[in-house]
Amino acid sequence: MAMEPRRLLVLYASQTGNAMDAAERVGREAELGGCAAVEVVSMDRFDAGCLPKERVVVFVVSTTGQGDPPDSMKVFWRFLLQRNLGNQWLEGLNYAVFGLGDSGYQKYNFAAKKLDRRLVDLGAKPIIEKGLGDDQHPSGYEGALDPWLLSLWRTLNQIYPSILPRMSDILHPEMRTLENSKFQVIYHSADSVQQDSDMSEHPENFVKLIERARLMSPALQCHDEEKPHHLLRMVTNKRLTKEAYDRDVRHFELESLSSVIDFQVGDVLEILPGQNPSVVDAFLRRCNLDPDCCITIQRRATEKESLDPSQNGVVHPIKLRSFVALAMDIASASPRRYFFEVMSFYATAEHEKEKLQHFASPEGRDDLYQYNQKERRTVLEVLEDFPSVQMPFEWLVQLVPPLKKRAFSISSSPLAHPNQVHLTVNIVSWTTPFKRKRHGLCSTWLVALDPQESRGVVIPSWIHRGCLPPPPPSLPLILIGPGTGCAPFRAFIEQRAVQNTKGPTSPVLFFFGCRSQESDFLYEHFWLSHSQNHGVLSKEKGGGFFVAFSRDQPKKIYVQHKIREESARIWRLLNAGAAIYIAGSSTKMPTDVTSAVEDVIVKESGMSKESASRWLRALEKAGRFNTEAWS
């Protein structure tokens, strides 16, 4: 008779950190229940070939973009798709899948759904029905995670009681005690830190400082933190929308400090934003931290050596202030639920302790969501709301969300601007339910940079492939990009204009939408110039430029209306082998535009709506229907 398993493996794939946070919670609760061996591992650090050796695995995966798996899941997923694995390869594996997604997207929780299906195909047996967390839920993904986890523990306890011998400890959170933090901070003498000053004068030292800070960060261990591809400086900061208009959209031109920038149209620029020095100082004061002390961070000795961040090389000490500024998001990200639970153990004022315990409990989940996520309270704001709490820096290092890079579609062509990257950026601001004004960290930082006065400010940047593959000059194009969705298509059209001077190019149709011709007709002169005098969007070249001003008339007109109006042109180009590219807001736009294209196919070909939908899916599989959407 086979021995009952005692080990629980939790594999996660996270893009923004939510799935990692949920996976860590699965691991914590399993340990509370007395599980003798729990391992929580990012999928990109686990050999998928070893999966058949496991008996109980919990998968926690997020979905990104248009139904894509996170970067850390891609190699693992490709392995599982191998045809030679067979339908008994995972026989004997019991598993559970929890997905994190957003029902506002067309392909909601696709990564979790596909993983669940594939595991069954390979012979694995689900412990319980997959759980699907939804960002649109009043409590976020935790609205589904709480009941799903309870069901998982109860079912697992029935199947394998040896895994969770202390089930009652999970069911009674008031009995919980606080373990040690997973990481320890080691303090060094001041002369341990080299080259930690004058960074703006020595860009190569700044790269080393960023690398040291982010390699040391526990929260960034799930990502392979590369050195910045480029250090850029701003040379143009131009407002595209009218001054009196309530939306501020900017055109930024960034120039490399050294080499030619290696990128192609459709690529994405990631930027590490700067945090306001006064906010960093306020955080250090609130937490009674010495900004000039020198630190390294490592896992506690009880943890497995294989997960020690120092395996990436020698970890050099860094000033505490530099670590906070470059690796900890204290000024824009909201802390997670576990942050409030740990805070409750350090609250010395009874009313604060009670409030924090309530926030950390299942009963207080909705109240926490209203206070924290809905209001987008920052770490510093939360700490200031509970002045009796003095959390050790070890816990702050573990629980403060990491400072993340922000991604922007590149809106320029390398053929037209070989040493520059142009961006089209909406300067993000909004009002919370409690009427507090909030601002996006990165866009607010960028808009404050004056090219004349901030030449010493370095912008650390990374270039990555986007969702829009660069089209060859011979490929006819149908481009649909309302609002800032026009950004990648400005690059496409710049590129094709240069290619057009060297040889024949295929036609381009571009559909743009905005609210008003007067207020937010982004790049008006650019589009119009290319739609005249044999430009790449001109009728003489077989192209066309079509713009929908949604609020310039009583009845709103959107890009999908213009698409239906131009059905004959679109169908003619599709029959000539054209590719469709869509970019812009992830809310309703991609779905509405896809539906309009289906209507075009139905009208011009006589197909049914279902056949038109299948035809588009085939186009997508062939790489001729591409979408890049963002929230």
Digit-coded pLDDT (tens) for 561-575? 999 999 999 999 999
Contacts of 62 (CB under 8 A, 6+ apart): 13, 14, 15, 16, 18, 19, 70, 99, 100, 101, 111
In-domain check, residue 81: yes
In-domain check, residue 223: no
Whether 313 shows a pLDDT value over 70: the answer reads no
In-domain check, residue 536: yes
Residue 183 annotated in ligand binding: no
Mean pLDDT of 11-34: 88
Domain containing residue 501: CATH number: 3.40.50.80
Residue 481 annotated in ligand binding: no
In-domain check, residue 595: yes
Residue 402 CA from chain centroid, whole number: 12
Whether 434 shows a pLDDT value over 90: the answer reads no
Residue 14 annotated in ligand binding: yes
Amino acid 308: pLDDT: 46
Residue 63 annotated in ligand binding: yes
Residue 416 annotated in ligand binding: no
> Kind and range of the H or E element at 529?
helix 524-530
Residue 557 annotated in ligand binding: yes
Distances, alpha carbon 341 to alpha carbons 266, 329, 335, 359, 437, in Å:
43, 19, 11, 8, 27
Amino acid 365: pLDDT: 86
Whether 60 shows a pLDDT value over 80: the answer reads yes
SS3 461: strand
Whether 309 shows a pLDDT value over 70: the answer reads no
Amino acid 18: pLDDT: 86
Tokens of 312: 């990436």
4-8, 58-62, 319-323, 496-500: least confidently modelled range: 4-8
Q: What confidence category does residue 163 fall into, taking pLDDT thresholds of 50, 70 and 90? A: confident
Residue 44 annotated in ligand binding: no
Q: What confidence category does residue 68 fall into, taking pLDDT thresholds of 50, 70 and 90? A: confident
Q: Which residue has the higher pLDDT, 70 or 471?
A: 471
In-domain check, residue 571: yes
**Domains held by the chain: number:** 2
Residue 579 annotated in ligand binding: no
Distance CA 319, CA 290 (A): 9
For 438, other C-beta atoms within 10 Å of its C-beta total 16
Q: Where are the alpha helices (DSSP H) in 234-319?
A: 277-286
Task: Note the pLDDT tens digit of each residue in 377-431.
Answer: 999 999 999 999 999 999 999 999 999 999 999 999 999 998 899 999 999 999 9
Residue 321 annotated in ligand binding: no
Amino acid 303: pLDDT: 46
Q: What are phi and psi of 183, to 5 degrees?
A: -125, 155
Amino acid 630: pLDDT: 80
- Listed residues 119, 148, 175: the one ending a domain: 175
Q: What confidence category does residue 306 fall into, taking pLDDT thresholds of 50, 70 and 90? A: very low
Residue 92 annotated in ligand binding: no
Residue 447 annotated in ligand binding: no
In-domain check, residue 283: no
In-domain check, residue 241: no
Using the structure block, give the residue that is written with the tokens 């006819």: 476
Residue 597 annotated in ligand binding: no
Question: Are 139 and 132 in contact, with CB atoms under 8 Å apart?
Answer: no
Mean pLDDT of 230-256: 94
Question: Are 385 and 246 in contact, with CB atoms under 8 Å apart?
Answer: no
Q: What is the DSSP string of 228-253?
A: PSEEEEEEEEEE-S-TTSS--EEEEE
Residue 327 annotated in ligand binding: no
Residue 564 annotated in ligand binding: no
Task: Note the pLDDT tens digit of each residue in 448-483.
Answer: 999 998 777 899 999 998 889 999 999 999 999 999
Residue 430 annotated in ligand binding: no
Mean pLDDT of 438-443: 94
Residue 441 annotated in ligand binding: yes
Amino acid 173: pLDDT: 62
Amino acid 6: pLDDT: 73
Amino acid 200: pLDDT: 46
Q: What are phi and psi of 488, to 5 degrees?
A: -65, -25
Amino acid 1: pLDDT: 38
Amino acid 362: pLDDT: 82
154-168, 287-301, 354-368, 571-585: least confidently modelled range: 154-168
For the chain, give the mean pLDDT: 89
Domain that holds residue 57: 7-175
pTM of the entire predicted model: 0.88
- Listed residues 119, 147, 175: the one ending a domain: 175
Whether 4 shows a pLDDT value over 90: the answer reads no
Domain containing residue 58: CATH number: 3.40.50.360
127-141, 189-203, 250-264, 359-373: least confidently modelled range: 189-203
Residue 508 annotated in ligand binding: no
SS3 490: helix
Amino acid 192: pLDDT: 60
Mean pLDDT of 360-369: 88
Q: What confidence category does residue 127 fall into, taking pLDDT thresholds of 50, 70 and 90? A: very high
Q: Which residue has the higher pLDDT, 573 or 260?
A: 573
Amino acid 257: pLDDT: 83
Residue 40 annotated in ligand binding: no
- Listed residues 118, 148, 175: the one ending a domain: 175
Give the closest residue to 319 by CA, choosing from 292, 298, 297. Answer: 292
Question: Are 36 and 84 in contact, with CB atoms under 8 Å apart?
Answer: no
Mean pLDDT of 250-264: 90
Task: Note the pLDDT tens digit of each residue in 182-228.
Answer: 889 999 977 666 545 444 457 778 888 898 898 888 877 645 567 77
Task: Note the pLDDT tens digit of each residue in 92-118.
Answer: 999 999 999 988 777 889 999 999 999
Q: What are phi and psi of 408, to 5 degrees?
A: -135, 135
Q: What are phi and psi of 236, to 5 degrees?
A: -140, 135
Amino acid 197: pLDDT: 46
Residue 294 annotated in ligand binding: no
